[in-house]
Amino acid sequence: MDSPLKPETHLAIEARLCGEPRELREGYCRVELTAGDEMRADERGLVHGGFIFGLADYAAMLAVNEPNVVLGSAQVRFLKPVVGGDTLAAEATVVERDGRKRIVAVDVQRAGELVFRGEFICFIPDEHILDREHR
């Protein structure tokens, strides 16, 4: 990874399923993923959108890059189909900061063509989300 920062969150993520960080700066991350055969939803090779969302979500978490960052909500658009073997690049940029809330814009491209766009609302709790009482 060509970056001055190191990941501080999602350290146990499976790169084969969510992508590999390629660039990480304050408020920005680029993650790449080659869609594997296990991501296909049908015999024609269409990749299930959940894997594309996972890539985008991971990029958003790294753009925030706080140990306890969690996703609160997302508004996304799937713009083009993806097939097994496609290499995708997700670029995530923090576009708004409000206390412990971050809004992150994420674009996913395949060879320069936009295939996915989303806005992710992330929160930074004081402790790990699993350490909090269930409400």
Domain contains 2: no
Domain contains 87: yes
Q: What is the pTM of this model?
A: 0.94
Q: What is the CATH number of the domain that holds 48?
A: 3.10.129.10
| Residue 19 to residue 53: CA distance in whole angstroms | 11
3-state secondary structure (DSSP) of residue 92: strand
Domain contains 76: yes
Show Cβ contacts of residue 12 under 8 Å, excluding neighbours closer than 6 positions: none
Domain contains 60: yes
Q: Are 9 and 30 in contact (CB under 8 A)?
A: no
Domain contains 8: no
Q: What is the pLDDT of residue 8?
A: 94
Domain contains 88: yes
> Domains in the chain: how many in total?
1
| Residue 63 to residue 95: CA distance in whole angstroms | 10
Domain contains 123: yes
Domain contains 134: no
| pLDDT (tens place) for every residue of the chain, 135 residues total | 655 789 999 999 999 999 999 999 999 999 999 999 999 999 999 999 999 999 999 999 999 999 999 999 999 999 999 999 999 999 999 999 999 999 999 999 999 999 999 999 999 999 999 997 665
Residue 65's domain comprises 16-129
